[in-house]
A = this chain, B = another copy of it.
Amino acid sequence: MLRTHTCGELNISHLGQTVTLCGWVQKSRDLGAMTFIDVRDRYGLTQLVFNTDSDDSLRETSRSLGREFVIQVTGAVLERTSKNAKMSTGEIEIGVSKIEVLNGAKVPPFMIEDETDGGEELRAKYRYLDLRRNPIRNNLMLRHKMAQEVRKYLDGLDFIEVETPVLIKSTPEGARDFVVPSRMNPGEFYALPQSPQTFKQLLMVSGFDRYFQIVKCFRDEDLRADRQPEFTQIDCEMAFITQEDILNVFEGLTQHLFRTVKGIELGSVPRMQYADAMRLYGSDKPDIRFGMQFVELNDIVKGKGFSIFDNAELVVGINAKGCAEYTRKQIDELTEWLKRPQIGVTGMIYCRYQSDGTLKSSVDKFYGEDDLTNWAAAFEAEPGDMMFVLAGNAEKVRKQLNELRLEMGNRLGLRDKNTFAPLWVLDFPLLEWDEETSRYHAMHHPFTSPKPEDIALLDTNPGEVRANAYDLVINGTEVGGGSIRIHDRALQSLMFKHLGFTPEEAQKQFGFLMDAFEYGAPPHGGLAFGFDRMVSIFAGLDSIRDVIAFPKNNSGRDVMIDTPSTISDLQMNELKIKTTV
């Protein structure tokens, strides 16, 4: 080894030892008689000292070092005169007797510090330098630790990790596929998997019993800060189980991760029906770190001559505790925020429960003291609270009120990143209506089983059919989702029929799976966690980018390696393709 120790491990117990360290120059202070240099590696920082006893060439070298130079130093471990209790190595320093510059460094385009001065584009281009910064490195070490713990937990429960193929078949269902032209089969293409769904089901048919994989998946979708064309799933499947078994196993995994990685005892995960989540939070992924549940007011506000409420399908509001003192300006600003096109509220009604016990609303013309007292009772409001009310189409107004609730949660400091509130959301609808294509789509995917008691509704009222489907939500973010699958050919065919497939189309795309169901398919089900998302929640980050070593930007580009890029005519000729740009 080029070193005897890392830059993070020396302390007072090593006094007097001669050691050799390697690392990067973090900073350097030349005090005339002495030069101090902090040398950094993945494990920590150690202070080096070059004093007047050092020979001339050593002093010269020490003064010539720039930031990020790579050095190897040998010297004695000395006790510091001024100790730094914040550093694990803060009690010692190395009196350098020998130094070698292993590599020089140009001045980095941004500061390699926890808080850097580099913009996003610059840091993306020099990602290898951005990765030197502690926060980013810590995210990736957290990710590694989480992956190890996932494997430990699942291996301990007899799950087997099986690698499924990356070059698979393009299917029209779901998001857009990335495709790969086949040179050996000209005119034909592979697709990259959006998930290993059908393969893991086949592994259940094969009797693997318990499967998992931490696996890259791919979706060619337009990107947001929160999406990447390639992302990682913790993909799991079990046979001979009920939904209850799956919830228990993966609640256990979640608890295990919080315990081993963050030292948090999570406790048992509460459960909520999809229908209740929509009614009480206007979202299938409620953030239950705080209450502020929706209160429906139709019964008490209608028929008082206020046409907006009278004509609305739903009048619904939230109680913003302690916000009665909001100024007119604050309310106007909030209303403007709600009127932005992405939310689209046309107007908001409010009612203050003033500290003197009186009630004051923006619709006092229509609602008297008695009415507002009824409102306050419905909201379980107290003096000092503020009630915000929206009205309109039920589905739309719930979505809007969800936005308002989350925003008020932010403003009131109710969404602490160090508080973790997991939730199972259960009994999702099987199908959802798609206006654009005028047909039902599978809400999860076509392999999700309907609740047996709802199958009869498939013909009469497809939108009402509930699925054996569940999501794990943490702090308002969906981190995992899954279902009990169909394991019967007839039911799977029926499902494809309701999704608008002809029998021929279904056979062509998914015949292998339906055939497999005829050779002894066990009852099975599973779940997939979004691993990037899970790590970002553990790291307290909003975006998944900083938990991915080499992410792509919003145009799907890696600006560091400059890809995608053109390929040669020779390559295209071999693949028998042409671009039509």
Set of chain B residues within 8 Å of A270, measured between Cβ atoms: none
Min CB gap A148→B, angstroms: 6
CA distance A578 to B362 in the complex (A): 61
Q: Are A206 and B522 in contact (CB under 8 A)?
A: no
Is A454 engaged at the interface, CB distance under 8 Å to the other chain?
Answer: no
Q: Which of A563-581 contact B (CB under 8 A)?
A: 563-568, 571, 574-581
A578-B581 CB under 8 A given contacts A169-B562, A565-B169: no
- The answer to whether A520 touches B207 (Cβ under 8 A) is no
Q: Is the CB of A522 within 8 A of B216?
A: no
* Partner pick for A519 among B126, B147, B209, B557, CB 8 A cutoff: B126
Identical copies in the complex:
2
Enumerate A198-244 residues with CB–CB distance to B below 8 Å.
Answer: 198-199, 202-203, 205-209, 216, 218, 220, 222-223, 229-230, 232, 239-242
Bound: A437/B428 CA distance, A: 61
A539-558 contact mask (Cβ, 8 Å, vs B): 1 or 0? 00000000011101001111
Partner of A522, one of B102, B571, B577: B102
Please give, as numbers and ranges, the residues of chain B lying within 8 Å of A169 by CB-CB distance.
558, 561-565
**Interface residue from B178, B182, B571, B576 paired with A180 (Cβ < 8 Å):** B178
- Report if A512 contacts B (CB, 8 A): yes
| Residue of B with least CB distance to A170 | B567
Size class of A's contact patch? 35 or more
A189 at the interface (CB under 8 A from B): yes
Q: Does A521 contact B (CB under 8 A)?
A: yes
Q: A132 touching B190 by the CB < 8 A rule?
A: no
Task: Determine whether A245 belongs to the interface, using a CB cutoff of 8 Å to chain B.
Answer: yes
> Cβ of A565 and Cβ of B218 under 8 Å apart?
no
The reply to whether B148 and A155 contact each other, CB–CB distance below 8 Å, is yes
Residue on B with the closest CB to A522?
A: B70
Find out whether the CB atom of A170 lies under 8 angstroms from the CB atom of B558: no
Chain B residues with CB below 8 A from A187, complex form? 566, 579, 581
Check A22 for interface membership: any CB of B closer than 8 A. yes
**B168 and A561: CB pair below 8 A?**
yes
The stretch among A159-167, A303-311, A416-424 that forms the contact with chain B is A159-167
A177 in contact (CB, < 8 A): yes
A and B contact pairs by CB, cutoff 8 A, 22 listed: A1-B242, A2-B242, A3-B240, A22-B240, A22-B522, A105-B518, A127-B202, A128-B519, A143-B163, A167-B552, A168-B561, A169-B558, A169-B564, A178-B190, A180-B180, A184-B222, A185-B556, A185-B564, A190-B564, A191-B567, A199-B550, A577-B579
